[in-house]
């Protein structure tokens, strides 16, 4: 379900680290909760963020969610394809539906994020509360 | 029913309400429909109204023609008693009507996107300014022409009082229009909006380009304010004069005066800014079988979703009045709207010229007017107008109503509803000072 | 022209459903040379004394249609709307009660409809008296000393209320920074607090869905200006610890704001002023029957305690010893104005007519509202999931939890209700109930209507088990089928172009 090689934040973003670049997106659970996505607001390349900062918003017809970066870094790439066709986030949230890539400034934060199993458990607990 | 619920009395259902707070109201006994008619009818009779007087009051609310069908259509249950169109499949009537209203506003203002309505002109100006502020990302100054309706400016001050924003007012020149040099000078790099009204509060037609040039020079947005919307049928549209946002009062396009409410606020903007527009928006789409259909859209801007980050706190707006205006604007159409504007203007010019000739009276502003103009009397205006009122002529609004020190001047508004005999009566009464 | 346009845009004919076809836009009915209006000939010399550069050319795209076109168009459009006059409209939090027609007749009396707010006071005594009387009555119903009628709707009332609180606190030297709002609140609450310059702190509701007194105690500091509370709350549950809640807020010098959207649950039975409420807005278009009109106009009067009276919006309506009325602009501590003139006067007329019809029996409104909501609750208990099962007042909030397990959501249930001839209940609100179905029948529904609604809802629950696809693809019998709201947002078309 949730890819093993990714790490997860409790605000339902995932991050994949390749060398010093972190790719960030939202999880399959998140896209299901939102429903069909109609609009995406992402930052410009060059923006700097600390872990936990808001970097954009994602909107469906009935909801809007802020996007929070799980790690600190500088934006080096933005998924323009997703901005033009936001539905790709629903179709492929862990792949082509990626949102931004950051040049990672520190390794420390990745350890604070959840593994795929821990995230799955976290989602189960959240659902129970409903 | 009580047994189905499982209680023995209705009172059981109020168990959660502490006894200490229960209290019946000290009100009179219920009235029948006949008694209500007497009760309210009695109060209505104590008011002067435009149908029974020679009527020249304006200053933000105007006595224009409203067709019989525009009023009677509102009696239809499906229009009157329906709800906000959150469920599009059972609200296509309301949704399509709003879409048409949005279109009418765009056609008149020359801008690309309009919302489903706001409360009225003053709060519409506030919303337009706050929209410009959001788009400016961090600027803090709004420059307002003193020609904007005083109650609009007062409303802006109330809303801005806790938001850390600065208001700078720019005065008028001798012609009665905003002083263009002073306007340009007041705009700086911290300005997010420049707002000018036309026709302004004193009736003077302003050039939208002056405000928009001043705004553009320093990277601010230009806000065009309209309080007498019939003027849009004759005067240059704000969109063609460089305005980024047009806002104001559309009451004169099909909504009765109602003693100042309900009215009909409107707001229109450029496509590039549409995501920051406050209020409801109706968009066109399809249904599951490919039919054209309409629904509320971009709702994520609004309070029920965005909550404290919403573009506005507005929920209920002026739906039924927007419908009335749609019917009116559709019925009159491009020709009719223009003819109403031309008649209003021509009649105003006629009576303005005649008043200018009355010894002791003068027209203080030299700028062109649309259908409303300022008159300076040789004596205090309020008592003079009260004497006219006793003779069935509501001759104008004394400015002392807004500024107690402005004792001699009054505003006269004229529309297609004023026949020539009334115009002559007004002139005669002023000439004789209604002695 | 007009009839032909309809034929051309018809969807493929389905013999089971020969209607409906999409209706043309009013602009699409336009035809050159058609005329729908008449004006008297100009009886003064024609003149345009405005320089040409300040004038426009014709209104491109403007309509040319006849009165017949207008009658047909707007009548046909209206038939695509559902409305209270047709049937039960159980929209929670909206109080869709019957709109008495006397209201409409009274509002159209020329002395009201054709009067101007700036006419001399001597010739406006009727309006001033009406406004004054309505204020007095609302003060009596709320148990608070004074009322302003100026706010144009509930949301603007909220803003007025919080601005008054702020002004009062500023006078003590500290405006404070925060407003507390429960997570069950209507979105206008945090939005209004924000526009008053406050930060919002959200209070998590307890397991009953009501205010958790410990949470409140911890959150209520001397930096909190007010607690905004809806009474009963958006679940229809009365805060039975309201007196304790008020004590906690007042102990720290804060104000208790009551969102009166749900006043229909206790109007004429209990008084908010006795609950410790300091400031409260009401919705004339909810509790007091002024018509919803497809989205307004409304009116949001605000009642205030003695401490806030100096800060009321300007002007206030006053009565002299000789019985005449006037507007008092000399209010130096007023928050100012929120709009032009007195407010939505036309709605004051309607509300006063409504209240006059009930008089001292207005408590029956609340009793009827609470009875009807509980009857529906009893009829749907066990069929739909009730997350918070405290006693309901005038509305009950079920959820789609049972049906969601079968793949049917509250949206689907709502759409299927349309096929049964009912307008869906309020959905997806409050936020603390996932898949919410908020049902408020109001007091003007009789038992037959309630039974029909309960029957329909039970049928749909059964269909969700036996034929879920039928529910998921609803509606089937409405003029348009399920509308593509995603497409509308992805491809914005917000107007017609010539």
- Interchain proximity A63–B306, CB inside 8 Å: no
Residue B12 lies in a domain: no
Q: State the ipTM, two decimals.
A: 0.95
B-chain CB neighbours of A59 within 8 Å are 300
CA C157 to each of CA B118, B316, C142, C188: distance values in angstroms, whole numbers, following the listed order: 15, 12, 15, 10
Residue B246 pairs in a beta bridge with B224, B268
Q: Measured between alpha carbons, how far is A42 from A24 in angstroms, rounded to an integer?
A: 12
pLDDT of residue A130: 62
Distance CA C309, CA C315 (A): 12
Q: Which residues in chain A are contacts of C485 at CB distance < 8 A?
A: 61
Identify whether residues B362 and B304 lie together within a single domain. Answer: no
Q: How far apart are the first and last CA of chain A?
A: 22
C53 touches chain B (CB under 8 A): yes
Instruction: Show which of residues 343-382 on chain B sit within 8 Å of chain C, judged by CB atoms.
Output: 343, 345-347, 349-350, 368-370, 382
Q: Is C124 left (phi over 0), alpha (psi -120 to 50) or beta?
A: alpha
Q: Give me the pLDDT at residue B374, please.
A: 98
Q: What percent of chain B has pLDDT over 70?
A: 99
pLDDT at position A21, please?
94
For residue C8, the model assigns a pLDDT of: 38
Per-residue pLDDT band at A101 (split at 50, 70, 90):
very high
Q: Which segments of chain A are extended strands (E)?
A: 7-8, 13-18, 21-26, 37-41, 48-49, 54-60, 64-68, 73-78, 100-104
Chain B: closest CA distance from residue A60 (Å): 8
Asked if residue B26 is part of any domain, the answer here is: no
CB burial class (10 A; 0-12, 13-18, 19+) of residue C368?
buried
Looking at CATH, the fold of the domain delimited by C364-478 is given as 3.90.1150
Alpha-carbon distance of B323 to C292, in angstroms, equals: 13
The answer to whether C154 touches B315, Cβ cutoff 8 Å, is: yes
Contacts of C231 (CB under 8 A, 6+ apart): C238, C239, C242, C258, C259, C260, C262, C266, C272, C275, C277
Cβ contact, residue pair B92, C360, below 8 Å? no
The predicted structure's pLDDT at residue B434 = 59
CB B253 within 8 A of CB B325: yes
Contacts of C434 in chain A (CB under 8 A): 130
Domains of chain A: 7-122 (2.40.50.100)
Q: What is the pLDDT of residue B27?
A: 96
User: ∠ CA B285-B289-B290 to the nearest 5 degrees?
Assistant: 40
A63: nearest CB among B275, B297, B305: B305
Q: Are residues B248 and B102 in the same domain?
A: yes
* Cβ burial A73-85 (10 Å sphere, 16+ → b, else e): bebeebbeebeee
Within an 8 Å CB–CB cutoff, is residue C260 touching chain B? no
Q: How far apart are CA C97 and CA C287, in angstroms?
A: 8
The Cα–Cα gap between C370 and C452 comes to 18
CB contact under 8 A, C486 and A39: no
- Looking at the structure, tell me whether residues B356 and B281 fall in a common domain: no
C-alpha distance from C204 to closest chain A C-alpha (Å):
13
Q: Given this model, what pLDDT does residue C433 score?
A: 87
Distance CA A89, CA B233 (A): 46
Q: Which residues of C touch B97 (CB under 8 A)?
A: 74, 77, 294
How far is Cα B297 from Cα B307, in angstroms, rounded to an integer?
16
Predicted confidence at residue C6, as pLDDT, reads 36
Contacts of A61 in chain B (CB under 8 A): 297, 299-300
What subunits make at least 3 CB pairs under 8 angstroms with A? B, C
Contacts of C428 in chain A (CB under 8 A): 62
CA distances from B313 to B301, C153, C229, C232, C234 (A): 10, 10, 17, 21, 18
Across the interface, whether the CB atoms of A62 and C428 are under 8 A apart is answered yes
Under an 8 A CB cutoff, do B305 and A39 touch? Answer: no
Q: List the single residue in B5, B16, B154 with the smallest CB-CB distance to C238.
A: B16
Q: Which of B2-6, B381-385, C465-469 has the lowest mean pLDDT?
A: B2-6
In order of A2, A28, A120, C362, C430, the CA distances from A126 in angstroms are 16, 15, 10, 44, 18
- Looking at the fold, whether B84 and B137 belong to one and the same domain comes out as yes
Among B79, B90, B96, beta carbon nearest to C23: B96
Which candidate from C401, C434, C485 shows the least CB-CB separation from A61?
C485
Any idea where the domains of chain C sit in the sequence?
1-80, 115-361, 364-478
Domain count for chain B: 2
Distances (CA, A) of C391 to B5, C129, C175: 11, 41, 37
Residues B208 and B260 in one domain: yes
C-beta contacts of C134-139 below 8 A and 24+ residues apart: C134/C301, C134/C348, C134/C351, C134/C352, C134/C355, C135/C301, C135/C317, C137/B27, C137/C352, C137/C355, C138/C282, C138/C301, C138/C303, C139/C303
Decide: B157 and B280 in contact? Cβ < 8 Å: no
Tell me, yes or no, whether B42 lies in a domain: no
| B268–chain C Cβ distance below 8 A for any pair | no
- Name the residue in chain C with its Cα closest to that of A84: C490
Contact B299 A39 (CB under 8 A): no
Check residue B52 and report its DSSP letter. S
Residue B16 pLDDT class (50, 70, 90 cuts): very high
Per-residue pLDDT, A107: 77
The predicted structure's pLDDT at residue B435: 55
- Which residue in C434, C485, C488 is closest to A130 by CB distance? C434
Global confidence as pTM:
0.93
B54 inside 8 A of chain C by CB:
no
- Give DSSP secondary structure letters for C103-161: HHHHHTSHHHHT--TTS-GGGBHHHHHHHHHHHHHHHHHHT-SEEE---SSHHHHHHHH
- Whether B394 is covered by a domain: the verdict is yes
- Please tell me whether residues B338 and B314 are part of one structural domain: no
* C401, C434, C486 ranked by CB distance to A36: nearest: C486
Task: Chain B: list its partners (3+ Cβ pairs within 8 Å).
Answer: A, C
Map residue C350 onto helix, strand or coil.
helix
Last residue of a domain, one of B275, B310, B327: B327
Alpha-carbon span C208 to C206, nearest angstrom:
5
Examine the domain organization and report whether B93 and B233 are in the same domain: yes
Determine how many CB atoms are found less than 10 A away from the CB of residue B397: 28
Pair (B86, B112) in one structural domain? yes
B129 touches B143 (CB < 8 A): no
- Alpha carbons C114 and C108: distance in angstroms, whole number: 8
Q: How many Å apart are CA C116 and CA C114, to the nearest integer?
A: 7
Residues B399 and B427 in one domain: yes
d(CA B143, CA B187): 7
pLDDT of residue C18: 46
Q: How far, in Å, are C96, C292, C320, C477, C491 from residue C187 at the CA level?
A: 19, 19, 41, 32, 26
Residue C459 φ then ψ, to 5° = -60, -45
Which residue carries 């509300």 as its tokens?
Answer: C351
From chain B, the residues in CB contact with A63 under 8 A are 300, 305
Classify residue B27: in a domain, yes or no: no
Average pLDDT across chain B, whole number: 94
Give the span between the Cα atoms of C32 and B355, in whole angstroms.
41
Average pLDDT for A12-26: 94
Q: Report the CATH number of the C115-361 domain.
A: 3.40.640.10
Grouped pLDDT means (10 residues each) for chain C, 498 residues: 34 49 87 88 95 94 92 93 82 90 94 97 97 98 98 94 97 95 91 92 93 96 96 94 97 97 97 97 95 90 98 97 97 96 96 97 96 96 93 94 94 94 87 90 94 96 96 92 93 94
**pLDDT digits 0-9 by tens, A69-88:** 999 999 999 999 999 999 99
The CATH number of residue B240's host domain is: 3.40.640.10
pLDDT of C427 reads 87
How far is the first Cα of chain C from the last one, in angstroms, to the nearest whole number?
16
Which residues from chain A sit within 8 angstroms of residue C488, using beta carbons?
Answer: 61
The pLDDT value recorded for residue C7 is: 37
Partner B contacted by C449 (CB < 8 A): no
A-B CB pairs within 8 A amount to 15
In this structure, the answer to whether residues B285 and B367 fall within a common structural domain is no
Is residue C164 helix, strand or coil? helix
If you measure CA to CA, which chain B residue comes closest to A65? B306
The reply to whether residue C115 touches residue B326, judged by beta carbons under 8 angstroms, is no
Q: What is the mean pLDDT of residues B56-74?
A: 95
Q: Do domains C115-361 and C364-478 have the same CATH topology?
A: no
> By mean pLDDT, which of B10-14, B305-309, C107-111 is the weakest?
B305-309
Interface contact flag, C486 A61, Cβ < 8 Å:
yes
> pLDDT tens digits for C474-495?
999 888 999 999 999 999 999 9
Say if the Cβ atoms of B87 and C195 lie within 8 Å.
no
**CATH code for the domain in which residue B414 is found:** 3.90.1150.10
Please report residues of A whose CB lies closer than 8 A to that of B306: 64
| Consecutive H or E run containing C396 | strand C396-399
Of B138, B54, B98, give the one whose Cα is nearest residue B429.
B54
Mean pLDDT of B306-324: 80
Enumerate the residues of chain C whose CB falls inside 8 A of the CB of residue A60: 486
Same domain, B236 and B375: no
**Residue count of chain C:** 498
The DSSP 8-state label assigned to residue A71 in this structure reads: S
Residue contact C118–B84, C-beta within 8 A: no
**pLDDT at residue B308, as a whole number:** 67
Same-domain status, B301 and B409: no
Q: Do C49 and B84 touch (CB under 8 A)?
A: no
pLDDT the model gives residue C21: 65
Give the single-character DSSP code of B11.
G
Domain extent, residue B413, equals 54-66+333-431
CB B216, CB B222: distance < 8 Å? yes
Interface of A with B in 13-42 (CB under 8 A): 39
Query: Which of B327, B361, B394 finishes a domain?
Result: B327
Q: What is the pLDDT of residue C1?
A: 24
Domain boundary (B310, B327, B344) is at: B327
Closest CA to C397 of C409, C405, C386: C386
Binding partners of C (≥3 Cβ pairs within 8 A): A, B
3-state secondary structure of C325: strand
B407 contact C CB<8A: no
Chain C positions touching chain A (beta carbons under 8 Å):
401, 428, 434, 485-486, 488-490
Nearest CA in chain B to A60: B300
């Amino acid at each position: 379900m949730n890819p093993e090689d990714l790490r997860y934040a409790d605000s339902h973003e995932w991050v994949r680290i390749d060398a010093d670049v972190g790719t960030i997106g939202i999880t399959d659970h998140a896209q299901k909760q939102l429903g069909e996505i109609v609009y995406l607001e992402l930052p410009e390349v060059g923006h700097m963020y600390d872990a936990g900062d808001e970097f954009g918003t994602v909107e469906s017809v009935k909801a809007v969610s802020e996007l929070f970066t799980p790690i600190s870094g500088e934006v080096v790439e933005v998924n323009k394809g997703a901005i033009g066709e936001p539905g790709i986030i629903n179709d492929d949230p862990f792949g082509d539906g990626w949102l931004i890539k950051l040049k990672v400034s520190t390794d420390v934060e990745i350890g604070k994020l959840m593994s795929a199993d821990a995230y799955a458990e976290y989602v189960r607990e959240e659902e129970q509360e409903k | 029913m009580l047994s189905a619920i499982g209680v023995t009395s209705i009172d059981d259902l109020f168990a959660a309400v502490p006894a200490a707070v229960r209290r019946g109201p000290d009100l009179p006994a219920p009235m029948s429909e006949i008694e209500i008619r007497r009760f309210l009818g009695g109060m209505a009779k104590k008011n002067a109204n435009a149908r029974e007087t020679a009527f020249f009051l304006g200053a933000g609310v105007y006595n224009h023609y409203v067709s019989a069908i525009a009023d009677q259509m509102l009696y239809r249950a499906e229009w009157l008693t329906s709800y906000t169109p959150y469920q599009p499949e059972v609200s296509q009537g309301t949704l399509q009507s709003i879409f048409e209203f949005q279109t009418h506003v765009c056609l008149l203002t020359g801008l690309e996107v309009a919302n489903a309505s706001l409360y009225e002109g003053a709060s519409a100006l506030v919303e337009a300014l706050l929209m410009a502020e959001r788009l400016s990302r961090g600027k803090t100054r709004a420059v307002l022409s003193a020609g904007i309706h005083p109650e609009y400016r007062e409303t802006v001050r109330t809303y801005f009082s806790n938001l850390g924003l600065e208001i700078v007012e720019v005065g008028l020149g001798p012609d009665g229009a905003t002083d263009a040099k002073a306007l340009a000078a007041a705009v700086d790099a911290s300005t997010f909006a420049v707002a000018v009204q036309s026709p302004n509060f004193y009736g003077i037609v302003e050039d939208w380009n002056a405000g928009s040039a001043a705004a553009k020079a320093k990277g601010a947005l230009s806000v065009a304010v309209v309080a007498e919307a019939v003027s849009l049928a004759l005067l240059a549209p704000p969109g063609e004069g460089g305005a980024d946002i047009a806002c104001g009062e559309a009451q004169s396009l099909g909504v009765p005066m109602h003693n100042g409410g309900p009215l009909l606020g409107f707001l229109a903007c450029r496509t590039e800014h549409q995501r920051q527009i406050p209020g409801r928006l109706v968009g066109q789409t399809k249904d599951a079988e490919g039919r054209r259909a309409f629904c509320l859209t971009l709702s994520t801007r609004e309070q029920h979703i965005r909550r404290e980050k919403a573009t506005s706190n507005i929920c209920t707006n002026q739906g039924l009045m927007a419908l009335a205006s749609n019917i009116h604007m559709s019925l009159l159409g491009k020709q009719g709207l223009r003819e109403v504007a031309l008649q209003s203007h021509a009649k105003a010019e006629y009576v303005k010229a005649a008043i200018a000739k009355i010894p002791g009276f003068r027209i203080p502003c030299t700028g062109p007017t649309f259908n409303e103009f300022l008159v300076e009397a040789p004596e205090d205006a309020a008592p003079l107008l009260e004497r006219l009122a006793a003779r069935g002529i509501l001759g104008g609004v004394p400015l002392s109503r807004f500024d107690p020190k402005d004792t001699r001047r009054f505003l006269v508004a004229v529309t297609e509803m004023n026949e020539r005999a009334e115009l002559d009566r007004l002139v005669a009464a002023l000439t004789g000072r209604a002695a | 022209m007009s009839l032909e346009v309809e034929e051309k845009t018809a969807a493929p004919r389905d013999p089971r459903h020969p209607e409906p076809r999409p209706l043309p836009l009013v602009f699409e009915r336009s035809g050159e040379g058609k005329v729908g209006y008449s004006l008297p000939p100009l009886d003064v010399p024609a003149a345009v004394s405005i320089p040409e550069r300040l004038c426009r050319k014709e209104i491109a795209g403007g309509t040319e249609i006849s009165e017949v076109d207008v009658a047909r168009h707007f009548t046909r459009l209206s038939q695509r709307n559902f409305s209270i006059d047709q049937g039960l409209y159980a929209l929670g939090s909206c109080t869709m009660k019957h709109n008495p027609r006397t209201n409409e007749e009274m509002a159209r009396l020329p002395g009201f409809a054709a009067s101007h707010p700036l006419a001399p006071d001597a010739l406006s005594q009727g309006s001033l008296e009406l406004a004054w009387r309505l204020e007095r009555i609302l003060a009596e119903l709320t148990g608070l000393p004074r009322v302003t009628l100026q706010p144009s709707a509930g949301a603007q009332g909220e803003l007025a209320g919080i601005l008054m609180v702020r002004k009062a606190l500023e006078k003590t030297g500290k405006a404070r920074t925060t407003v507390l709002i429960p997570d069950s609140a209507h979105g206008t609450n945090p939005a209004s607090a924000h526009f008053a310059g406050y930060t919002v702190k959200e209070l998590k509701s307890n397991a009953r869905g009501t205010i958790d007194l410990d949470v409140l105690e911890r959150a209520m500091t001397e930096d909190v200006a007010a607690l905004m509370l809806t009474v009963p709350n958006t679940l229809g549950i009365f805060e039975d610890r309201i007196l304790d809640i008020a004590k906690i807020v007042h102990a720290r010098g804060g104000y208790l704001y009551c969102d009166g959207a749900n006043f229909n649950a206790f109007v004429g039975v209990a008084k908010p002023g006795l609950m410790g409420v300091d400031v409260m807005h009401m919705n004339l278009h909810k509790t007091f029957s002024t018509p919803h009109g497809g989205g307004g106009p409304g009116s949001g009067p605000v009642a205030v305690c003695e401490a806030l009276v100096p800060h009321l919006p300007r002007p206030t309506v006053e009565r002299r010893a000789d019985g005449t009325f006037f507007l008092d602009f000399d209010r130096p501590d007023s928050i100012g104005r929120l709009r032009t003139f007195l407010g939505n006067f036309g709605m004051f007329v309607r509300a006063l007519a409504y209240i006059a019809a009930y008089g001292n029996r207005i408590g029956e409104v609340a009793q009827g509202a609470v009875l009807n909501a509980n009857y529906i609750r009893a009829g749907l208990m066990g069929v739909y999931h009730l997350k918070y099962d405290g006693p309901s007042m005038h509305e009950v909030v079920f959820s789609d939890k049972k049906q969601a397990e079968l793949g049917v959501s509250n949206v689907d249930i709502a759409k299927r209700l349309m096929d049964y001839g009912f307008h869906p209940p309020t959905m997806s609100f409050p936020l603390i109930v996932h898949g919410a179905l908020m049902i408020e029948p109001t007091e003007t529904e009789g038992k037959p209507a309630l039974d029909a609604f309960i029957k329909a809802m039970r049928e749909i629950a059964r269909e969700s088990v036996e034929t879920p696809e039928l529910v998921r693809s609803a509606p089937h019998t409405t003029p348009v089928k399920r509308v593509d709201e995603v497409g509308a947002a992805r491809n914005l078309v917000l107007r017609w172009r010539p």
